[in-house]
Amino acid sequence: MSTSKKVKSALISVFHKDGLEPIVKKLNELGVTIYSTGGTEKFITDLNIEVIPVEDLTSYPSILGGRVKTLHPKVFGGILSRRDHDGDVAQLEQYTIPEIDIVIVDLYPFEKTVASGAGEQDIIEKIDIGGISLIRAAAKNFRDVICVSSMDQYQEFLELLNENEGKLSLEDRQRFAGKAFNISSHYDTAIFNYFNKDHKEAALKISETNGKVLRYGENPHQRGFFFGNFDEMFTKLHGKELSYNNLLDVDAAVNLIGEFKNDAPTFAILKHNNACGFATRPTLHQAYVDALAGDPVSAFGGILICNREIDRDTATEIHQLFCEVVIAPSFSDEALTILKGKKNRILLVLNDVELPQTNIRTCLNGVLVQDKDNVTDDVTHINQATDKAPTNQEIEDLLFASKICKHTKSNTIVLVKNKQLCASGTGQTSRVDALNQAIHKAQSFNFDLNGAVMASDAFFPFPDCVEIAHKAGISAVIQPGGSIKDQLSIDYCNQNNVAMVFTGTRHFKH
Element (H, E) at 104: strand 102-105
- Beta-ladder partners of 328: 349
Burial class (CB in 10 A: 0-12, 13-18, 19+), 453: buried
* Residue 143 half-sphere exposure toward CB, CA atoms < 13 A: 8
CB 476 within 8 A of CB 499: yes
Among residues 186, 205, 272, 340, the one annotated as catalytic is: 272
* Residue 372 half-sphere exposure toward CB, CA atoms < 13 A: 9
Pairing of β 302-306 and β 323-328: parallel
Give the list of residues 6+ apart from residue 384 with CB closer than 8 angstroms, or none: 390, 499, 500, 501
Element (H, E) at 226: strand 225-227
For residue 140, indicate whether it is catalytic.
Answer: yes
For residue 509, indicate whether it is catalytic.
Answer: no
CB 204 within 8 A of CB 368: no
Q: Is 333 helix (H, G, I), strand (E, B) or coil?
A: helix
Among residues 140, 167, 205, 340, the one annotated as catalytic is: 140
Return d(Cα 492, Cα 498) in angstroms, integer: 8
Active site residues: 140, 272
